[in-house]
Amino acid sequence: MSKFLAISLLLTLLSHCAYSYSRATASAWRDQDFFGYCRVSQCSDGGPEIRFPHRLQSSNTSSACGASCARLACSGPDTILHHPFLGPCNVTSIDYRKATMKIIPLRSPCPLQKLIFNTLPPNDNLSCELYSNDPAKIVQCSKKFTPSGTSPVDGEAFMTTADYIAGPISCLGDTKHFSYLVFARLYMYVLPLDCRIVSKGSIPIPRPLNIYGPTFKERAEAIINLAEITVSWWPDEVTFNYTKCDEVTFNCTKCERQKQRCQRVKVISVTSSVAAFVVLSFIVATALYLSLKSRYDEEVHLKVEMFLRTYGTSKPTRYSFSDIKKIARRFKEQIGQGGFGSVYKGELPNGVPVAVKMLEHSTGKGEEFINEVATIGQIHHTNVVHLLGFCSEGTRRVLIYEFMPNESLEKYIFLCGPNTSQELLAPNKMLDIALGIARGMEYLHQGCNQRILHFDIKPHNILLDYNFNPKISDFGLAKLCARDQSIVTLTKARGTMGYIAPELYSRNFGEISYKSDVYSFGMLMLEMVSGRRNSDPSIENQNEVYFLEWIYDKVITGQDFVLSGEMTEEDRLKVRQMALVALWCIQWNPRNRPSMTKVVNMLTGRLQNIQVPPKPFVSYESHAVP
């Protein structure tokens, strides 16, 4: 349906362009030259040049010579922009190449109270990008404070709080009160408890369209100090939709339909109408295709770049895509395929082997890439894979990890399968790996400044280094939250079937928290001790409950697992200890599951101290964790 609409729109545009062009070429040689007709204007010899797409309202040039919404006029030698929010502003310079204009508001000192608006139109609804702004509020506090840390802005990625607070403002405060200008969409909990909003409306802070422009704080301080401010416009904001039939204009179609005389301004004349029609058709078709194709990609790119701009200084090395191709040896050696893309073996310039992951199947707005960089990019733990670098260039997203020669745990724990090894892990090594995973998860839950919930713990995401030490990988579904936050809100379930905790499907089982990761770890450990997948396609009608019931019966009756057929008594006890801990981890009621700190203690403690848990798929009453 969308393709049909796009084709219909394209044909409409082509027919309109063909009609307009055929009418224009008939009088092309009679039209006056545009650049000769619309001359450059200046308010003074040293003042900024006013030319297309802008024009001076006080000049003698036709309104057809200006296509922007800027209201420019002369006041003596000064060039004045009549800004709808800031009022009259002195224009110090105009850069037509960058589409920017530098202005200084002409208001009395301490102008903030006069800039408060009860309602500000959203930027999406503004008819002129030149007046784009960020809303701000005046906040009054009883003490001075210095902003620090990070805070989510509008629910997006965490931003540096200090970049969104300006002040204290000397002209609004006294010895007992201190006023600050705060971004209106900043969460109030980042401010001291004694602070309160005192402005009833919002103050518009001009915002340039370039994401690498000055911060909110820098722009707000410029307003407070009546300093120079940069505003900008999109080149495609310029449109030719003039309909005054008594003036020279670009489009006479409406006038001619009304049988009124109209004279066109010629921009470019050609000798062949057929060749021009073909070229114009190709340009329109290409522009429409690229617009439809790139709109979504541009939104993702801006979101990722905004995130990298905030966190780029504290993250791993950022590479260009040309560097990535050299590191990955032009992607000749593929070593894996994940849920979000392909993984290739590469080598850094210093000879260190790496794994290069191309994010190809991302479904969110860059969220997988942002999650990876925001989580493992800032932590270092022996049981968490190390992120060495990344690339974000256009629509390309690439992550560079340390190379894991023994691939994933999935290869070594199952009795049969296309991607499994012939030699399974010994019980003592199995326990070491489970303990390493538990310590890595304990660090994610308790050892970082913010708690990191993985939400996709499974054998495929546990990588093994040269010594078979486990490392947790693939943080594409991870979520950051405060360390003291016990409940997490998700709009939909995330993870892999068979490892997803029950509360992610239904809140009737409990609240979503770090205990959801504990459940996934328990399922992983049960697969390690049994040598079976929690959903084995080789067993007819097997489901998750069947698998858990089979494991539980083995533990209760003291029977050996498949893996423990030819083991010493010490090995059997290790396997039983892992099974008991795993059964505690997969209790359906999240409150009955142990924390990862408790799991580490249980795995390193004595088997005699671990009680037999209730049936995980039946138990719903509270049971004390041993």
Q: Where would I find the beta strands (DSSP E) of 307-395?
A: 317-318, 334-337, 341-347, 353-359, 387-393
Look up tokens 């594409």; give the residue. Answer: 476
Give me the catalytic one of 134, 163, 456, 536. Answer: 456
Q: Indicate the SS3 state at residue 529.
A: helix
Contacts of residue 32, defined as CB under 8 A and 6 or more positions apart, other chains included, come to 248, 265, 266
Cβ burial of 626 (10 Å; 0-12, 13-18, 19+) is middle
Establish whether 357 is an annotated binding residue. Answer: yes
Q: Which two tokens stand for residue 161?
A: 């709080």
CA distance 283 to 13: 11
Look up tokens 């260009």; give the residue. Answer: 320
Pair type for strands 248-249 and 263-266: parallel
Look up tokens 């799991």; give the residue. Answer: 599
Angle at 232 between CA 226 and CA 234, to 5 degrees: 165
Segment 163-167 long-range contacts (CB within 8 Å, at least 24 positions apart): 163/215, 163/216, 163/217, 163/310, 164/215, 164/216, 164/217, 165/191, 165/217, 166/216, 166/217, 166/220, 166/221, 166/224
Burial 5-33, CB ≥16 within 10 A → b, else e: eeeeebeebbeebeeebeebbeeeeebee
Closest CA relative to residue 264, chosen from 22, 479, 512: 22
Give yes or no: 456 in active site.
Answer: yes
CB 541 within 8 A of CB 517: no
Binding residues for ATP: 357
Binding residues: 357
Hey, which residues are catalytic here? 456
